[in-house]
Amino acid sequence: MNRLVLSSILVIVPVLHAFQYAELAKYVDSHQEEYVEALRDWVAIESDSSNALKRLDLHHMMETVAQTLRTMGGNVQLVDIGEQELPDGQTLALPKVVTAQFGNDLNKSTVCVYGHVDVQPAKREDGWKTPPYNLTEIDGNLYGRGASDNKAPVLAWIHAVQAYKAFSLELPVNVKFIIEGMEETGSNGLDAMILAQRDSFFSDVDYILISDCGWLSRRPALTYGTRGNCYFFAEVEGPKQDLHSGVDGGTVIEPMTDLIGILDMLISPNGKILIPGIREAVAPLSDEEWKMYQDIEFDMENYKNKIGVSQLMYNNKVTPVTR
């Protein structure tokens, strides 16, 4: 747990009641070991949402989150979101979604923190140098499955609320949490749950905060926009049966060749998406944003070396982080 990260969260919103920031920082410093131990306990829970055999661990993880929020005095609910149908036809209960609320002052804005506590599979044979579910410190860094994605960020928000409560400080905003356990496999059931509660739990939410992003900058950064997905389906029909390339090759119009031609029409060599209407649906980068991004500490050479490529799509540091 990094003090800078938690300290940034503590003051991310305007503070309506005067307090000594130095005291809060001192409180954070004095609870470092407690924060690390909390993360260690969470990492130890093998909450792999892709493995049906780990579903009990996932249920345990959600209960752990709920209990943590209850001990802080939050109004906590474990919301049933139904069942998941497995490929073999069996059904499995989805992990409940945890919602919590701290404060309901109508004169304050309401901030909803989203996070997830499920993880991707992890085994030593996959290349882990340390036991993935045993939080390990190496050179000041903490390693463990889910440590950064997304258990530590969820805990950081929880610790931020705890710090205010420790000093009997009134939260400057109403805070809500929505924590799920199926993000890594597509957030099964979450859409329906949100729609069902849009006029209740989410009715007064003014802002959504997501701490599930990476920093490309060398400095702490706030991500204020994320990429979305837009799916398209293309189907090409061909002969009614498989054909022999030695007999029929060069005679028939091959569906694979046509499909390659279609895909080639979707994007230009310089990365511009050519599908009609796509560009119009994306807000353009303002002059003010362009100027702001000039100061970002994004090292393109270091980035290329890190991911193992010799060339990027663009030769300036702004476009890669704004597209």
Residues labelled catalytic: 118, 183
Phi, psi of 209 (to 5 degrees): -115, 130
Residue 286's Cβ-count burial label (10 Å; 0-12, 13-18, 19+) is: exposed
- Give the E-state strand segments of the chain in sequence order: 75-79, 83-85, 91-93, 97-102, 110-116, 136-138, 141-143, 174-180, 207-210
Secondary structure letter of residue 84 according to DSSP: E
Q: Is 59 helix (H, G, I), strand (E, B) or coil?
A: helix
Contact 159, 6 (CB under 8 A): yes
Phi, psi of 273 (to 5 degrees): -75, 130
Compute the distance between CA of residue 134 and CA of residue 40 in angstroms, rounded to an integer: 7
Q: How far is CA 219 from the centre of its chain?
A: 19
Amino acid code (one letter) for 211: S
Only one residue has tokens 């609870």, namely: 31
Residue 12, strand partner residues: none
